[in-house]
Homo-oligomer: A and B are copies of this chain.
Amino acid sequence: MSDLLEQPSQTEQKIFEAARHVFHRKGLEGARMQEIADNANIHKSMLHYYYRSKEALFQKVYQLSIMKVMPEIVNLLNEEVSLELKIRKFVVKYIETIQANPDIPLFILHELNKDPNRFKQFIMGQVGKKVEPFLEELRQAAKEGRVVDMPPEQILVNILSLTVFPFIGRPVIQMILGYEGKDFDQFIEERRLLLPDYVINSISK
């Protein structure tokens, strides 16, 4: 303990990683403490030694997950570049973010759906109303005839849908298209390359 910044012990990290993995796949209730322990290759008591309770462990995972994907939306939409470049960068960067954490969106949405109030304030602090400048930018561009005339909220949701849904809907997409193995990864790779053009084209006048 000679460091000034308390860095989590190695087992503590292993636990957290395992917890993240299991919670992401199974959700709060679906996850078993024993399964997390097994996954981390440590004794179950250690979970409680480092993180008092399942609830506490879950909350850390939940919060970190939110932090990993929610502020990014706002950040990317508030970059100081042209509207077109901003949207292009958003699509690419956000796909990359989700690609690095492909289970997070479904995880968050499921938990949020079960209990919309848990962490509502926390989430609101990250994203609430912080897209207004972007919406205004779209509004302005529409007025100037550079962008299709459509409520900017709908355009924003279009962008989010096209970017995020493939990860959430992965199992269904795989079934419908008969993908297996690396097929889906290729599909995402292909998508990352062509989606920016598609989005820009779809909203340009």
Taking Cβ atoms with an 8 Å cutoff, the residues of A that contact B are: 25-30, 70, 73, 103, 106, 108-110, 112-114, 116, 120, 123-124, 127-131, 148, 150-151, 153-154, 156-158, 160-162, 164-166, 168-173, 175-178, 187, 190-191, 194-195, 198, 201-202
Judging by beta carbons under 8 Å apart, are A153 and B177 in contact? yes
Find A172's partner among B29, B112, B158 (CB 8 Å cutoff): B112
Q: Could you tell me the distance between the alpha carbons of A109 and B129 in the complex, rounded to whole angstroms?
A: 28
Q: Could you tell me the distance between the alpha carbons of A187 and B150 in the complex, rounded to whole angstroms?
A: 12
Judging by beta carbons under 8 Å apart, are B113 and A171 in contact? yes
Closest chain-B Cβ to A145's Cβ sits at a distance in Å of: 16
Q: Could you tell me the distance between the alpha carbons of A130 and B192 in the complex, rounded to whole angstroms?
A: 26
Judging by beta carbons under 8 Å apart, are B177 and A131 in contact? yes
Closest chain-B Cβ to A182's Cβ sits at a distance in Å of: 15
Find A176's partner among B103, B109, B131 (CB 8 Å cutoff): B131
Q: Could you tell me the distance between the alpha carbons of A108 and B160 in the complex, rounded to whole angstroms?
A: 20
Closest chain-B Cβ to A189's Cβ sits at a distance in Å of: 11
Judging by beta carbons under 8 Å apart, are A128 and B178 in contact? yes
Judging by beta carbons under 8 Å apart, are B175 and A128 in contact? yes
Judging by beta carbons under 8 Å apart, are B153 and A187 in contact? yes
**Closest partner residue, chain B, to A30 (CB atom):** B29
With A30-B29, A128-B178, A177-B153 in contact, is A171–B112 under 8 Å at CB?
A: yes
